[in-house]
Structure 1
Amino acid sequence: MSDTATSSETNKKKKSGLPAWATGFGAQVFAGLIIGLILGFVASGMSLQWLSDLLSGVGNAYVQLLRVMVPPLIFAAVVTSVANLRKVANAAALAVSTLVWFAITAFLSVLVGIVVALVMRPGVNSTVDPASAADPSRVGSWTAFIQSIVPDNFIGLSASTSDDGVSLSFAALQLLVISLAIGIAAVKAGDAADPFLRFTESFLKVIQVILWWIIRLAPIGTAALIGKAVTTYGWDALGSLGKFVLAIYVGLALVLIVVYPAVLKFNGINTIEFYKRVWPVFSLGFVTRSSMGVMPVTQRVTERSMGVPSEYASFAIPLGATTKMDGCASIYPAIAAIFVAQFYDIDLTLTHYLLIIFVSVIGSAATAGTTGATVMLTLTLSTLGLPLAGVGLLLAVEPIIDMGRTAVNVTGQSLAATIVAKRANILDQETWDQAADGIEAAVSPSQSTAKADVNA
């Protein structure tokens, strides 16, 4: 964004007489949430099917727009970042540090989940119908991670058929591996690969402009998605599982207001400023229920609002969107596993709790090939020797709790990348200082995507 454009926007805000936070993108997303709630309650209360269909259609279209950008973004960003990582002296140390902080926050999150489950005891005297117990259709496997990183084809694409036709999907982790391999090969190829790398960098800039267009539609997408959630899920499903849902959200809240602030403070990062910047990521994660769908926004905000160099963010954010899930892989399986044990009146020992911690810290990678909180829960239950049929007891409230889980997931992904960059002294303080309103500084299509002089 040019200085003239920036000055023009600043003058407009001053003329409005409103503070920046009240006119920025974060405020627009929040307004979308409120409008969506109102529309959802109107559609539900007045049985307006046309409004429900409209909210669902617009919401699904927005998530689809975000998801369609994930494969080209991963490829272009990772290949470009591998080439640019030559400018970073401690690239290997950054990768190790990323995994370490993924594990640290997962460990703290699962401890919160265990404590909440033991204090609130959601499975004791539960009135949930035992007949709803059922074995899951998919089960987590410790070999899934190895299988998931071996590409099925060159672009990590898979297809499935149904009565509705053929649907295509991609394996993000496979695409990440393919992109890393191509990037490394391009670097090894030397001068001969320069045209390819220049093309990839140019392609990335085009993708980022398209992302800017999609991101600016976020307030509309947020309104539609939260309205759809109100009309689709309602609160009838809570019923006998209300205590379980409350326990999940208490655990998620404790991670957001205790664990993450403590980790941020330990690393010298202002908690309030971090949450101001991450708000668009958090809110979109909540309404879309898709870490991968929000990944383009997470990466853009992490780079443009947090000041994390794109050379590093292009590696950390795609990896985090696949394997870093404090909500789905730590809090949820801990509380859900203890719920199942309490429901079936099975006493857990210290060994069981240690296994819950182990699975939560390590297991998210093991389920990367079949990503999902339910699959993660099956891995936990099978490791503990608890009945897998207990998964069926909780499916009724899956969409309601998945909103909160995903919001924590994407927040943790951005947090880990920011912490690692801060500790490695590569966080761009100037970008951080200028990004006072979350994504507002992240949505300029003309800003440079990378700092050319990144040094360890």
Structure 2
Amino acid sequence: MSRQFLDVPPQPLTNPADLRDGRAAMASLFESRYLTRNILIGMALGAAIGTALNLTGTTVAEPGFLAGTLFPLGGDIFVRLLRVLVVPLVLLSLMCGTAALDDVRKLGRIGLKTLAFYLGTTAIAIAIAIGLSVLIQPGAGFELNYEADFAASESPPLAEVILNIFPSNPFQAMVEGNMLQVIVFAIMFGVAMCLCGEPGQRVLAIANDLNDVVMKLVMLLMLAAPFGVFALVAKTFAIEGFSAILGLAQYFFLVLLALAVHAFFTYGLILKVFTGLSVKRFFKQMRSVQLFAFSTASSNATLPLNLENAEHNLGVKPSIASFTIPLGATLNMDGTAIMQGVATVFISEALGIDIGVQGYLMVILTATLSSIGTAGVPGVGLIMLAMVFDQVGLPVAAIGVIYGVDRLLDMARTAVNVTGDAVVSTIVAQSEGEFDQSIFDSEEPVLKHAK
């Protein structure tokens, strides 16, 4: 073999220009405007086909092949693929964000700010809901039959709730998806990495690489988002239909009104007051996340997209977003608090029970505090509502009356919850000097890991 042949440099198997073109084409699929458009198309088609199926006689008892098998299968597979990433994403992002802080004392300050805003907005949310309900009186003239098939799970004692925040086995917490315990362990590990010097930096580099891989996987899954959204929405409208809304129209639309007021007025006001940022641009940067949250009705399933959007479209630095977004997905329940406020007034009016001003104040206090206390419990919204009803002397069985439309309202509540997570993250980030104005002002938002 001649030396001349050996000196020939290896030739690339693929033309670099073609590779770049391919990457550009792939990246365009992830651009926020395309993702928003495709999700909207999926939602519209799902709602249309689901409604058509419902009109042909699809019910809970007889869902048929499409509504009973195909749509639930497609939607559940998509949500499962996203949920499987929640634990590693929260663990890695919190570890990286905490370890990246140059001062551990800063973590306590950020935590207090975040918790204060989450609890404060929850209290405001339920106050708005009660105020609108007292003004509009949705339960007036409603004939209530609360002998419905509903049994609320019993809420755990306060001491048990506090104890369960702290993990005894971090691996068990990850397997069970106990997000509060995962968050506590991730913060502890991140602080240790921060204090460990050179070994901590080496572990941090590995964690950052793993975090990038997980986020890349999230963005790959977003390719299937319009199809997953279509299946979820089609199933919901095929089973529920609009007939479920008619009997509870006042309650249903009052919850939607309160959610809209809180999302656009409360969040918009505190964002403007505390940051001075453009509220219009914020909601423009959030539209893909809101649509995705609405269609999945799951804050946990939306968490990866919300975290990516906060960092690369809203300009929140990873050291803040990786702490505030996962914490918000676990603790922030403004949408649920609004449902509780409206439901309490609606049921009390329908039963002719006057709970009085003291009762309303008790609802605000109970719902605000229980947003932390029941964060890791399945069926959290209805459990929290059962706790509120117990506090003001309303029959828990009456929850069954509103249970039928709760699935539809849950979609809107989730969109409000993830919006609140992003608002608080943006406020905290700017107050800590961890905010990039140029990213927030970008005219063409593109999710980074698509590139």
Say whether the fold is shared (TM-score over 0.5): yes
Q: Which residue of 1 aligns with 2:77?
A: 61
Change (3 A) 1:7 1:211: closer
Choose from 342, 366, 372 the match for 1:365. 372
Is the 2:144–2:351 contact (alpha carbons within 8 Å) kept by the matching residues of 1?
Answer: no
Shift of residue 383, structure 1, vs aligned partner? 2.5
Choose from 186, 189, 192 the match for 2:193. 186
Q: Which residue of 2 aligns with 1:215?
A: 222
Choose from 164, 167, 174 the match for 1:148. 164
Residue type of the alignment partner of 2:449: S
Supply the RMSD in Å over aligned alpha carbons: 2.8
Residue 256 of structure 2: SS of its match in structure 1? helix
Q: In the aligned structure 1, how far is the partner of 2:92 from the partner of 2:281? A: 30
Residue 356 of structure 1: SS of its match in structure 2? helix
Query: Is it true that 1:308 corresponds to 2:316 in the alignment?
Result: yes
Is the 1:252–1:327 contact (alpha carbons within 8 Å) kept by the matching residues of 2?
Answer: yes
Is the 1:133–1:391 contact (alpha carbons within 8 Å) kept by the matching residues of 2?
Answer: no
Shift of residue 443, structure 1, vs aligned partner? 4.7
Change (3 A) 1:47 1:358: closer
What's the CA shift string for 1:150-189, capped at 9, x where partnerless?
A: 225222448xxxxxxxxx6411111111111222222333
Q: Which residue of 2 aligns with 1:419?
A: 427
Unaligned runs of 5+ in 2: 1-16, 59-63
What's the CA shift string for 1:188-241, capped at 9, x where partnerless?
A: 333233432222111111111111101232222222211111112212333432
Q: Which residue of 2 aligns with 1:444?
A: 449
Choose from 388, 399, 403 the match for 1:395. 403
After TM superposition, the structure 1 = structure 2 runs for residues 23-34 of structure 1, keeping only pairs within 5 Å, are: 24-34=34-44
Change (3 A) 1:47 1:239: closer
Shift of residue 5, structure 1, vs aligned partner? 6.6
Change (3 A) 1:220 1:135: closer
Query: Is it true that 1:382 corresponds to 2:369 in the alignment?
Result: no
Q: Which residue of 1 aligns with 2:66?
A: 51
Q: Which residue of 1 aligns with 2:128?
A: 112
Q: In the aligned structure 1, how far is the partner of 2:218 from the partner of 2:28? A: 25
Change (3 A) 1:303 1:36: same
Is the 1:145–1:368 contact (alpha carbons within 8 Å) kept by the matching residues of 2?
Answer: no
Query: Is it true that 1:139 corresponds to 2:155 in the alignment?
Result: yes
TM-score (norm 2): 0.86
Change (3 A) 1:282 1:197: same
Residue 102 of structure 2: SS of its match in structure 1? helix
Q: Which residue of 1 aligns with 2:343?
A: 336
Q: In the aligned structure 1, how far is the partner of 2:334 from the partner of 2:132? A: 15
Q: In the aligned structure 2, how far is the partner of 1:235 from the partner of 1:117? A: 22
The structure number with the bigger radius of gyration is: 2
Shift of residue 253, structure 1, vs aligned partner? 1.5
Q: Which residue of 2 aligns with 1:452?
A: none
Unaligned runs of 5+ in 1: 14-19, 159-167, 447-456
Q: Which residue of 2 aligns with 1:275?
A: 283
Change (3 A) 1:10 1:180: closer
Q: In the aligned structure 2, how far is the partner of 1:396 from the partner of 1:248? A: 14
Change (3 A) 1:7 1:153: closer
Is the 2:98–2:107 contact (alpha carbons within 8 Å) kept by the matching residues of 1?
Answer: no
Choose from 210, 234, 239 the match for 2:241. 234
Q: Identity percentage over the alignment?
A: 26
